[in-house]
């Protein structure tokens, strides 16, 4: 007996019989006393604030480093351009292309360093996310066992 598959009917069946389940958190408070629930709520709040602060520090550090790199590059480029201003027309013609190439190289290196910094920052954020999760797990387990943090 062959049964033909009808995607429309299959979808209708799915919609008719699906049962939505709520988010099942890793840290259920089922079975917790009121005191444990309060401790968990407080711990989550504190850990969340700490996590946000660490991420803010990572961002600020990255922004400061990017700004520092840009300022260094601008300073060097400005010095190179300054060399051209003091030259005669013959010297300018001789050095202009060379200095332009040097400036281009500086800009390429700056872009590369910024990309590396971006990847490094991403790695720090991922590590912090993992550390945050571990800190939450530890706090939850301590509260569940009845220990104080």
**Secondary-structure breakdown of the chain: helix, strand, coil percentages, each rounded to the nearest 5:** 80, 0, 20
Mean pLDDT, rounded, of the chain:
88
pLDDT band at 17; cut points 50, 70, 90? confident
pLDDT at 87 (0 to 100): 81
Phi, psi of 19 (to 5 degrees): -130, 115
DSSP letter at 87 equals S
- Which tens digits make up the pLDDT trace of 69-117? 999 999 999 998 888 887 888 888 888 889 899 999 999 999 999 999 9
Residue 86, φ and ψ in degrees, nearest 5: -90, 5
**Residue 129 pLDDT:** 95
Tell me: pLDDT of 62 over 90.
yes
Provide mean pLDDT across the span 7-12.
Answer: 82
pLDDT at 149 over 60: no
136 half-sphere exposure, CB direction, 13 A CA radius: 18
Nearest to residue 113, comparing CAs of 80, 69, 54?
69
Give the residue among 25, 113, 23 at the shortest CA–CA distance from 66: 113
pLDDT for 22: 58
pTM (2 decimals)?
0.71
pLDDT at 128 over 80: yes
């Amino acid at each position: 007996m062959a049964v033909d598959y009808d995607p429309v009917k299959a979808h209708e069946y799915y919609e008719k019989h699906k049962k939505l389940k709520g988010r099942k958190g890793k840290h259920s408070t089922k079975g917790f006393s009121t005191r444990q629930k309060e401790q968990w709520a407080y711990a989550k709040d504190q850990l969340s604030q700490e996590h946000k602060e660490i991420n803010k520090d990572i961002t600020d550090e990255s922004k400061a480093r990017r700004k520092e790199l840009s300022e260094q590059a601008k300073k060097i480029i400005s010095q190179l351009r300054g060399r051209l201003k003091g030259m005669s027309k013959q010297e300018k013609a001789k050095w202009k292309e060379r200095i332009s190439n040097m400036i281009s190289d500086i800009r390429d290196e700056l872009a590369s360093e910024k990309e590396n910094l971006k990847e490094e920052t991403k790695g720090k954020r991922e590590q912090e996310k993992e550390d945050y999760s571990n800190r939450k797990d530890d706090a939850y387990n301590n509260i569940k066992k009845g220990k104080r943090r």
